[in-house]
Amino acid sequence: MEKWIITREGYEPEEYTDNGNRFLIGNGLIGVRGTLEEYTADKMVAINLAGIYDKAPGQTWREPINAPNAFFAKLENQSSILSHKQSLNIAFGLHSRETDYENATLRIERFCSMAEPNILCQKISITPKGKPVTLICGIDSEIWDINGTHLTDFKTSVTDTLRVSALTSEQRIPITVTERCNRTADEVREIRSSLFRVFNVKEKLVLERIIAINSELTPGSYDEKLSAHKKIWERLWENSEVKIKGDDKAALSLRYSLYHLHSIAPRHADSLSIPARGLSGQTYKGAIFWDTEVFLMPFFTLTEPAVARKFIKYRINTLGGAREKAAEYGFDGAFFAWESQDGGVDGCTDFNVVDVFTNRPVRTYFRDKQIHISGDIVYALGKYIDWTGDKNILENGGDELIRACADFYRSRAYSRPGSDKLEFTDVVGPDEYHERVYNNAFTNRIAAYALEKAGYDCKVREPIFKDGIVEQFDGYFNLEDVSLAEVRSRLKHPREYWGTQSGVAFSTQIIKQADVIALMHLFQDDFTDDIVKNNWEYYEPRTEHGSSLSACMYALTACRFGKPDLAYPLFMKSARSDLDGGGKSWAGNVYIGGTHPAAAGGAYMIATQGFAGLSLQDGQPVLKPSLPEQIESIKFPLIFRGKHMHVNVTHDKAEITQN
């Protein structure tokens, strides 16, 4: 039987970071970390709001806002715990916990409504074992903020509903949380700006709480709202479920990845994208990176093209910011933000990492030199049109975006005297450990793609091969060729950042993440299978996989040259990234933990493009399977140019049928 429920047994408060990610629920507008109801700010409780950015006092950048925690609930004077279980039903994003205390049993369910994105629902059931107990639930305004307090000017009101409202400190954006409960409390307590209902419970009590964030409450009971919510999830799975047979662990891990992608898709908005850490908090300033275009777009393009279109529209609507950024550096066209926030403002700072030894900010060049971002966006737009046939987006800003990106590259390029080839000097490729390099093969190729899409007649310098291996950038092969273990052993601090000029990787061939291999996946027609294999064997041992974006590129390319056994552990790593937890959470002294949507999107890519070998040839979907032994079959639906299709791949057959 298919497994849809993730469970952890045993009360484990020290696991609040990983469980917060593991048990996250969301609906694209709101993400709620999977922390327990009694937890407070110190355990990273967050009701994270998509698309609202503000500066905390004294900060130079904006980050997303966490709303007051309306899911707060607690048994006062908790007695000892006899048993405890936390679960997540990934079929429809229902979080539940069941705790058996010595004096009572507490069961709580919650979900973020897919049917009404501003609405959250909670059902609390408490059964005393003998003497009465006291239950407190309400809106807790002491919230987790990484870089300073965002909410100010709190106001509370108590009628038959509880309401806490506040303003963000910089732009004074109103944030309101309103709650209604099906039972009248014995008392309402106001503690600072928090409001709590207090119930003296003598016998089993069931509370149903409906919560509205930044909107008015809507009518309907908990069960009615749950049933509307489930209906939407059913439809989402119909169009997206990837069924893996023969390997239950792989099947569940992939299903879990898709659950996360569905939970953070901005269906409510006309144009919005997904932050690198989804809706799991303020990490990475809630910003949009190339992760969306390269790692998330394939899933949405094939299963929910309307959402993929929103990502593209987000970039079209933030062209203004990208043009300003290009102008800031003295270039034409559009240089998209490395860490894009509303309006396309670049949240990335020049000093984006904090040194662990001195606690001083370190100069990084992600913002000003990671120019592949504009090409990544053009690439995603091109693929989106290839799969959906939605050329209409070109007239609606797509053409302008492509031209603006190409203009940027044309003005940013350099050509040696006497050469007709464009080169890109002083850049940072996907491997962020080597900054300010020349002719990063990935960057050159993606820029060439943008220039070609715009119809510009110019040539970009191609990758340089040495003994069949693409040189990641000019001079890469001259760097110290030393093992990953050796470089790791040179660290003087576990959180030390490997990049920047003084980092352990900088003078070596050890790279952070797939770079040449990412190039080989994106531009498959440029490279033969043998070349891909040789490059894989060269680069993989030299890759730290220090980014969750890395494993899937290696897995995809391994499938391509017929080695799914090499791909399989990388697939599991991507698919289980948030299930297993424990990933890298620090870049120097900067916290980078949270969920990993790009790894989830990568897992989908591996299953569909890698194991099933789905690609477009001559404008038609084709399959070239590369199934690992453990997996008997993979089946999934897809939408190609408006037509609903179905893929079925086993070790003996591969077919695409139209529904």
Would you please indicate which residues are annotated as catalytic (active-site) residues?
432
Binding part of the chain for ligand IFM, among 192-200, 282-290, 475-483, 531-539 by CB under 6 A, reads 282-290
Q: Give residues 596-615 in contact with ligand IFM (rule: CB under 6 A).
A: 598
In the bound state with ligand IFM, the residue whose beta carbon lies nearer, of 259 and 289, is 289
Binding part of the chain for ligand IFM, among 58-66, 171-179, 283-291, 498-506 by CB under 6 A, reads 283-291
Please tell me the distance from the alpha carbon of residue 180 to that of residue 128, in angstroms, as a whole number: 23
Q: Binding to ligand IFM by residue 276, rule CB under 6 A?
A: yes
- 267, 17, 541, 447 alpha-carbon torsion, rounded to 10°: 30
Please tell me the distance from the alpha carbon of residue 583 to that of residue 350, in angstroms, as a whole number: 25
Burial class for 4, CB neighbours closer than 10 Å (0-12, 13-18, 19+): middle
Question: For residue 556, how many other CB atoms are within 10 A of its CB?
Answer: 28
In the bound state with ligand IFM, the residue whose beta carbon lies nearer, of 54 and 544, is 544
Q: How far is the CB of 218 from ligand IFM (least distance, A)?
A: 35
In the bound state with ligand IFM, the residue whose beta carbon lies nearer, of 23 and 289, is 289
Q: Which two tokens stand for residue 154?
A: 């709190």
Binding part of the chain for ligand IFM, among 176-184, 285-293, 374-382, 619-627 by CB under 6 A, reads 285-293
In the bound state with ligand IFM, the residue whose beta carbon lies nearer, of 333 and 499, is 499
Q: How far is the CB of 432 from ligand IFM (least distance, A)?
A: 6
Please tell me the distance from the alpha carbon of residue 388 to that of residue 124, in angstroms, as a whole number: 44
Q: How far is the CB of 402 from ligand IFM (least distance, A)?
A: 22
DSSP annotation of 202 reads S
Q: Give residues 545-574 in contact with ligand IFM (rule: CB under 6 A).
A: 547, 549
Would you report the helix, strand and coil content of the chain in percent, each value rounded to 5?
35, 30, 40
DSSP annotation of 542 reads G
Q: How far is the CB of 634 from ligand IFM (least distance, A)?
A: 27
In the bound state with ligand IFM, the residue whose beta carbon lies nearer, of 70 and 276, is 276
In the bound state with ligand IFM, the residue whose beta carbon lies nearer, of 276 and 454, is 276
Please tell me the distance from the alpha carbon of residue 153 to that of residue 20, in angstroms, as a whole number: 28
Q: Binding to ligand IFM by residue 352, rule CB under 6 A?
A: no
Tell me if 640 sits within 8 A of 259, measured CB to CB. no
Among candidates 69, 109, 100, which has minimal Cα distance to 206?
109
In the bound state with ligand IFM, the residue whose beta carbon lies nearer, of 284 and 640, is 284
Q: How far is the CB of 577 from ligand IFM (least distance, A)?
A: 11
In the bound state with ligand IFM, the residue whose beta carbon lies nearer, of 305 and 601, is 601
Tell me if 514 sits within 8 A of 555, measured CB to CB. no
Q: Using CB under 6 A, which of 116, 208, 247, 291 touches ligand IFM?
A: 291
Q: Binding to ligand IFM by residue 290, rule CB under 6 A?
A: yes
The site for ligand IFM, by CB under 6 A, has a size of 10
Binding part of the chain for ligand IFM, among 149-157, 207-215, 286-294, 462-470 by CB under 6 A, reads 286-294
Q: Binding to ligand IFM by residue 431, rule CB under 6 A?
A: no
Q: How far is the CB of 370 from ligand IFM (least distance, A)?
A: 8
Q: Which two tokens stand for residue 322?
A: 């990208």
Tell me if 506 sits within 8 A of 424, measured CB to CB. no
- The β-bridge partners of 108 are 97, 124
Q: How far is the CB of 291 from ligand IFM (least distance, A)?
A: 5
Q: Give residues 620-649 in contact with ligand IFM (rule: CB under 6 A).
A: none
- Collapsing DSSP to helix, strand or coil, 289 comes out as coil
Q: Give residues 158-187 in contact with ligand IFM (rule: CB under 6 A).
A: none
Q: Binding to ligand IFM by residue 430, rule CB under 6 A?
A: yes
Please tell me the distance from the alpha carbon of residue 629 to that of residue 640, in angstroms, as a whole number: 29
Q: How far is the CB of 492 from ligand IFM (least distance, A)?
A: 22
Q: Binding to ligand IFM by residue 299, rule CB under 6 A?
A: no
Binding part of the chain for ligand IFM, among 204-212, 288-296, 350-358, 619-627 by CB under 6 A, reads 288-296
Q: How far is the CB of 426 from ligand IFM (least distance, A)?
A: 18
Give the chain's end-to-end CA distance (angstroms, integer).
25
Please tell me the distance from the alpha carbon of residue 478 to that of residue 508, in angstroms, as a whole number: 9
In the bound state with ligand IFM, the residue whose beta carbon lies nearer, of 89 and 550, is 550
- Any idea what the Cα angle at residue 546 is, between residues 7 and 462, rounded to 5°? 130
Q: Which two tokens stand for residue 622?
A: 């084709």
Pattern 223-262, ligand IFM, x by CB under 6 A: ----------------------------------------
- 137, 138, 144, 148 alpha-carbon torsion, rounded to 10°: -140
List, in sequence order, the alpha helices (H) in 12-154: 16-22
- The β-bridge partners of 207 are 124
Parallel, antiparallel or unpaired: strands 465-466 and 459-460: unpaired
Among candidates 621, 583, 623, 579, which has minimal Cα distance to 603?
579
In the bound state with ligand IFM, the residue whose beta carbon lies nearer, of 56 and 549, is 549
Residue type, 265: A
Q: How far is the CB of 338 from ligand IFM (least distance, A)?
A: 8
Binding part of the chain for ligand IFM, among 26-34, 287-295, 468-476, 531-539 by CB under 6 A, reads 287-295
DSSP annotation of 170 reads T
Please tell me the distance from the alpha carbon of residue 314 to that of residue 325, in angstroms, as a whole number: 16
Q: Helices then strands (H, E): number in the chain?
A: 19, 31
Binding part of the chain for ligand IFM, among 32-40, 75-83, 143-151, 284-292 by CB under 6 A, reads 284-292
Q: Which two tokens stand for residue 220?
A: 């309907």
In the bound state with ligand IFM, the residue whose beta carbon lies nearer, of 73 and 598, is 598
Q: How far is the CB of 366 from ligand IFM (least distance, A)?
A: 8
Q: Using CB under 6 A, which of 289, 379, 604, 611 touches ligand IFM?
A: 289
Q: How far is the CB of 319 from ligand IFM (least distance, A)?
A: 20
In the bound state with ligand IFM, the residue whose beta carbon lies nearer, of 433 and 571, is 433
Strands (E), 287-383: 353-354, 361-362
Q: Which two tokens stand for residue 381?
A: 């737009």
Q: Binding to ligand IFM by residue 577, rule CB under 6 A?
A: no
- Any idea what the Cα angle at residue 572 is, between residues 469 and 247, rounded to 5°? 125
- Collapsing DSSP to helix, strand or coil, 186 comes out as coil
Q: Which residues bind ligand IFM (CB under 6 A)?
A: 276, 284, 289-291, 430, 432, 547, 549, 598
